[in-house]
Amino acid sequence: MLSKNQIKYINRLGQKKFRLQERSFVVEGVKTINELLQSSLQLQDLYTTESFNIDAKSENLISENDLKRISFLKTPNTALAIFKMPDSKLIDPSGLIVALDDVRDPGNLGTIIRLCDWFGIKDLVCSMHTVDCYNPKVIQATMGSIARVNVSYLNLVAFLKETTLPVFGAFMDGETVYKTTLPSTGILVMGNEANGISQPIAHCVSARVSIPRFGALQATESLNVATATAILLSEFKRNA
């Protein structure tokens, strides 16, 4: 049975400030937990209604009711684990880097992290106001990819001003990506869901690219940022 202190501790990990203080984050679901157990990430605690057959010191068998009390999901998924955040890593400038300018939706960030994993993007750099990658909803959406993508939070303007790499920005009025020569190394900047790329970041962009609309009425205002990221990464990698 879980103690009040255990429940309080886990619930507080839903807050960014507490996650950063403890350097720990929550992962839910057997499949995602198993993926992270096979990575270099360090398991802190595991709470489950069914045995995982791992180190007994880290495994806590609990009831379904207790799992509901600590889960961040509407329908808890058998197990919840707490992992330690990895140490920060240097950004590798030798490949394609994705940069996010104030992406706020946890589902979008989680999907973009998974896309980076799929397309072999090692580094994802985020503005300081982009949603925390260790938010439980983000972790859920990454489905384990958080262990394979280096996510950095930094002053994005300063980072882009200092780089020697070409900087591509996604804009509605940019040159169609299907007619743009895309390099194997560079930085792809994706903007905020509502406002796109901010003016300070736009001044750092060396090439504006867009995804053309093909609908007869062309009434769709814009694409979801994660969907747009998928299309653009596919084009960057198509001739790699």
**Among candidate residues 51, 84, 117, the one where a domain is terminated:** 84
Q: What is the pLDDT of residues 120-162, one digit of tens each?
A: 999 999 999 999 999 999 999 999 999 999 999 999 999 999 9
Same domain, 127 and 221: yes
- Domain residues for the domain of 62 are 4-84
The lowest-confidence range among 63-67, 104-108, 203-207, 235-239 is 235-239
Residue 90 located in a structural domain:
no
Provide the CATH number for the domain around residue 43: 3.30.1330.30
Q: Is the dihedral of CA 157, 115, 16, 196 positive or negative?
A: positive
For residue 117, tell me if it sits in a domain.
yes
Residue 91 lies in a domain: no
The reply to whether 76 and 184 lie within a common domain is: no
Pair (137, 220) in one structural domain: yes
Backbone angles phi, psi at 79, to 5 degrees: -145, 150
Q: Is the pLDDT of residue 19 over 90?
A: yes
**34-82 confidence digits (pLDDT tens):** 999 999 999 999 999 987 766 546 788 999 999 999 999 999 989 999 9
**188 C-beta neighbours (distance < 10 Å), count:** 22
First to last CA, the chain: 53
pTM, rounded to two decimals: 0.94
Q: Residue 53: what pLDDT?
A: 65
Number of structural domains found in the chain? 2
Question: Per the structure block, which two tokens stand in for 85?
Answer: 């955040």
List the CATH number of the domain containing 224. 3.40.1280.10
Same domain, 170 and 114: yes
Do 199 and 165 share a structural domain? yes
Whole-angstrom Cα distance, residue 150 to residue 5?
Answer: 32
Q: Do 80 and 106 fall within a single domain? A: no
Taking the C-alpha atoms of residue 122 and residue 139, their distance in angstroms, rounded to an integer, is 17
Q: Which value, to the nearest 10 degrees, does the dihedral of the CA atoms of residues 191, 196, 202, 204 take? A: 0
- Please report whether residue 223 resides in a domain: yes
Task: Tell me the C-alpha distance between 197 and 23, whole Å.
Answer: 30
Residues 77 and 126 both lie in one domain: no
In a domain, 61, yes or no: yes
